Structure 1
Amino acid sequence: MSALITHLKNKQLVWQASQQAQTAAAKIATGVAELDQALNGGFPKQGVVRINSVMGIGELKLCMPIIQQRQQDKRQLFVMAPPVQINAEMLIAHDIAIEQVFFVANDDKANQLWACEQCLKSGLCHTVLLWQSKLSLTQAKRLQVAAEQGDCLLLLFEYNSVAQPLPISLSMNLSREQDVLHINIAKQRGGWPVSDLTVKHTLNSIRQRYQTVAQPHTKNNIVALHAQR
C-alpha cells in the first residue's frame, strides 16, 4: 500500500493535509468569495488550471481578475490560438494592459502545445491561455512542469462533457443557468474536491465580450511560432 501511495504522490494525484498551509500563501483571489473559500484562497499563482465547460458561459470572464493580478510583475500574457477573436475592449475593461498581450496564431494542435510549453518555461510570461481538449497525462505533466519552471500560470480551457483526471494544480467543471454559475472543483492541489458550488456571475452579450470586428487602426500583437525539429 505504501508503494502505491508513493507512486500516486509522485504522479501528483494525491495531496497531504500538511501541504495546505504552504500552498494557501501561493494563491490569487478570484474576487468571488464563495469560490475563493472553496479554493483556500483562490487560483494558484503558477501551474496548470483546467476549466471544463460549454463555450461562452463566462469561463474567460471568470479568469479576468486573475490575469489582471498576474500582470503586475510586468511580464507578458500569451493567448494561444483562441477559438474566437477576443475583444480588446473587454481586456481593457478588466485593466489588462493590451501592449503586454500577444496572440500566437497556429491551427496545428501539436505546434500549439510546443509553443505553449516554450512560453511557460521561458520566464517571460505571467499567464498563458490555451484551448485544447483531451490532453494526455504526459502532455499535462510537461505543461505543469514548464509552468512551475517559468513561474507561470496556464489557464487551460476544455469543452468536453467528460474530463479525465490530470496531474495539474486545479481542475474545475463549469455549467450555467441564467445568471448562476455551477462550479465543481474536481481537483485542487492542497485542498479537497468541492461539488455543487453556485455563484452569481453576470454575463453580458457573449458576442460583445468575446468577438469583435477588426478595426483598421487596432494594434495586433501576433507571434508566429513554429516547432523546431
Structure 2
Amino acid sequence: MSLSLATLTKHPLIFKGREQPAAVNQCRRIAFGHEKLDQACAGGVLAAGLIRLRALPGCAEIKLIAPLVTNKATSKKRVLWLQRPDLLFNPNWLNQQPFGQHSWIINCNNDTDSLWVCEQSLRSQACTCLILYFNQLSIKAARRLQVLAKQYDCLVIVISRPSNTLMTLPVNLDFELQYSQSAWRVNIYRVTGAWPKSDIAIENPLPASNQAIVNAFAKYANEPDASLHQVG
C-alpha cells in the first residue's frame, strides 16, 4: 500500500499544494492610484492571485492596470503579455514603461493556447505578472489559475469583453471598465475584503479630445468653398 501511495505522490501531474512554499506577502495590496477605486477595493488588489477586467479593447484598460504591473515588476522577474492575433499589445508603449525591460510578448492563437502558456509560466516561477486577453474563462480554469498564482506569488490579469451575465469567477477582483469622454466608470462585481460596488467614477487618463477639430469642421461644414486646408 505504501509503495502505491509513493508512486502516486511522485506523479508529475499530481498537484501537491501543501508541500509547496507559500506565496510571499499574499495579503499585500497594490493600489491603482485612483482614490475612489482603491477605497472600494479595500486599499487595492491583492498582490498574488487572479483578477478579471471586463472591458472593450482600446478603452484604456492597459492604462488602468499599469500601476499594478509596475509594482509587481520591482521583483525583477518577467512580466508576460499573452497577445492574440486580433488583440495586440503595443511594443513601443511597453518599451517606454518602467517594466518594459522585464516584459515579454508571447503570441497565442486562441483561449486554449493562452491558458496552457499561462499555467506553464506560473509553474516555471520565472514571472511575477501575466496579462492576457481571454474570450471566456471557465470557473474551473479560473480556480486553477487562482491557486497557481497565489502559490507562486504572481498576479494574473485576465481581460475579457463585457457580457450580459453577472456571474462572477473565483478571483480576487472581478470588475468592469466603461469609458466615457469625461471619466471612467467602474463596476465591481466581486472583490476580496470588501463589498461589490457600481458606478465608480474616476478620472479619465486618456489625452485630451479633438474637440477643437470637431468644432472647426462643424463651423465650416456648410460652406461650399471651404476646403480642408482652410479649417482652423
Sort the TM-score into its range (normalised by shorter chain). Answer: 0.7 to 0.9
Deviates more, 1:156-165 or 1:34-43: 156-165
Q: Distance in 1 between the 2:79 and 2:123 partners? A: 13
> How far apart are the structure 1 equivalents of 2:77 and 2:182?
33
Q: Which of 76, 98, 105 lines up with 1:95 in the alignment?
A: 98
Structure 2 unaligned runs (5+)? 1-24, 209-232
Which letter maps to 1:40? A
Fraction of identical pairs, as percent: 30
Alignment counterpart, residue 162 of structure 1, candidates 152, 161, 164: 164
Supply the distance in 1 between the matched residues of 2:201 and 2:153 (Cα, whole angstroms): 30
Secondary structure of the equivalent of 2:59? Answer: coil
- Provide the rounded CA distance (Å) in 1 between the counterparts of 2:54 and 2:73: 24
Matches within 5 A, 1:1-229: 25-82=27-84, 83-96=86-99, 98-163=100-165, 164-204=167-207
Query: Which letter maps to 1:52?
Result: R
Counterpart for residue 14 of structure 2: none
Deviations 1:84-103 (A, max 9, x none): 4322332244322x332112
Check conservation: 1:179, 1:202, Cα contact below 8 A: no
Rg: which structure is higher? 2
Please tell me the root mean square deviation across aligned C-alpha atoms, in Å: 1.9
Measured after TM superposition, the shift of residue 66 of structure 1 is 0.9
Divergent runs of 4+, >4 A: none
Residue in structure 1 matched with residue 4 of structure 2 by the alignment: none
Partner SS, residue 143 of structure 2: helix
The structural deviation recorded for 1:140 is 0.7
Find the residue that maps to 1:91 and give its secondary structure.
helix
CA distance in 2, matches of 1:160, 1:37: 23
Q: Which has the higher contact order (CA 8 A, sep 6+)?
A: 1
| Structure 1 gap segments, 5+ residues each | 1-21, 206-229
TM-score (norm 1): 0.74
- Map Cα deviations across residues 19-77 of structure 1 (whole Å, 9 max, x no partner): xxx98x51001111111111111121011110001211111110111111111111000
Measured in 2, the distance between the counterparts of 1:108 and 1:36 equals: 33
Amino acid at match of 1:107: N
Deviations 1:147-172 (A, max 9, x none): 11111001100013235311111100
Letter in 2 for 1:183: V
Q: Distance in 1 between matches of 2:56 and 2:110?
A: 22
Distance 1:141 1:168 in 2: 7
3-state SS of the aligned residue for 1:134? coil
Deviates more, 1:86-95 or 1:151-160: 86-95
Q: How many residues align?
A: 182
Contact 1:125–1:152 under 8 Å retained in 2: yes
Q: TM-score of the superposition, structure 2-length normalised?
A: 0.73
Report the AA paired with residue 114 of structure 1: W
Asked if the contact 1:121–1:149 (Cα under 8 Å) also holds between the matched residues in 2, the reply is: no
Report the alpha carbon displacement of residue 108 of structure 1 after superposing the two structures with TM: 3.0
